[in-house]
């Protein structure tokens, strides 16, 4: 009885593999001639036109996203941030937007906002909001971008990242 089950299972697997590995011409089981495939009349099929706006914009999870630039070496001062805070920064829109690349996990929520902006430096405050003690949270991590619009492009000013309130 077990042997029969194995033979039937192996036969089904073989038919499935043969059907998937074919050249696009379906063959009925037990025959060697192709089965004609017909499509419904074109009047009953409606095809939506492709979206005019193009694909949705997404940001890569590694490296500098297209259109963004990396700050100059030594331009970012993140020494005040604890190690668990995000430190990866890019500049968008000609330096008018600072984008912090981060990982957000569970119930923790990250946010960033512009702080003091002087002729010498720009401060960005990064905040991690944690859930109340004892709240159950999912164990997952998601990649996020935290855009912060500046009053003027960063240019050669120092970018200082600090923990927010």
Q: Is 90 exposed, middle or buried (0-12, 13-18, 19+ CB in 10 A)?
A: buried
Stretch (H or E) spanning 6: helix 2-20
What pLDDT, in 10s, does the model give residues 26-37? 555 555 555 555
pLDDT over 70, % of the chain? 61
- DSSP string of 94-105, one letter each residue: GGTEEEEEEEEE
- pLDDT score of 165: 85
Is residue 153 within 8 Å of 114, Cβ to Cβ? Answer: no
- pLDDT score of 68: 86
pLDDT classification of 55: cutoffs 50, 70, 90: very low
- DSSP string of 103-146, one letter each residue: EEETT-EEEEEEEEE-SSEEEEEEEEEPPPTT------EEEEEE
Indicate the average pLDDT of the chain: 77
Q: Which one, of 104, 79, 101, lies nearest residue 92 by Cα? A: 101
What pLDDT, in 10s, does the model give residues 2-15? 565 566 565 655 55
Q: Give the whole-angstrom CA distance, residue 144 versus residue 98.
A: 14
* 46: pLDDT strictly greater than 60: no
What pLDDT, in 10s, does the model give residues 73-124? 999 999 999 998 999 999 999 999 999 999 998 899 999 999 999 999 999 9
Q: What Rg do the C-alpha atoms of the chain give, in angstroms?
A: 28
The residue count for the chain? 165
0.85 cut: is pTM over it?
A: no
């Amino acid at each position: 009885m077990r042997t029969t089950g194995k033979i039937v299972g192996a036969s089904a697997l073989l038919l499935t593999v043969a059907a998937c590995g074919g050249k696009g011409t379906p063959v009925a089981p037990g025959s060697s001639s192709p089965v004609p495939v017909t499509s419904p009349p074109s009047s009953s099929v409606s095809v939506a036109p492709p979206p005019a706006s193009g694909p949705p914009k997404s940001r890569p999870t590694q490296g500098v996203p297209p259109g963004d630039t990396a700050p100059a070496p030594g331009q970012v001062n993140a020494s005040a941030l604890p190690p668990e805070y995000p430190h990866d920064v890019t500049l968008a829109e000609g330096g008018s937007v600072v984008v912090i690349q981060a990982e957000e996990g569970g119930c923790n929520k990250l946010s960033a906002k512009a702080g003091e902006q002087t002729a010498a430096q720009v401060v960005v405050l990064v905040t991690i909001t944690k859930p109340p003690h004892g709240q159950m949270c999912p164990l997952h991590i998601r990649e996020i971008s935290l855009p912060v619009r500046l009053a003027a492009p960063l240019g050669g000013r120092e970018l200082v990242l600090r923990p927010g309130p």
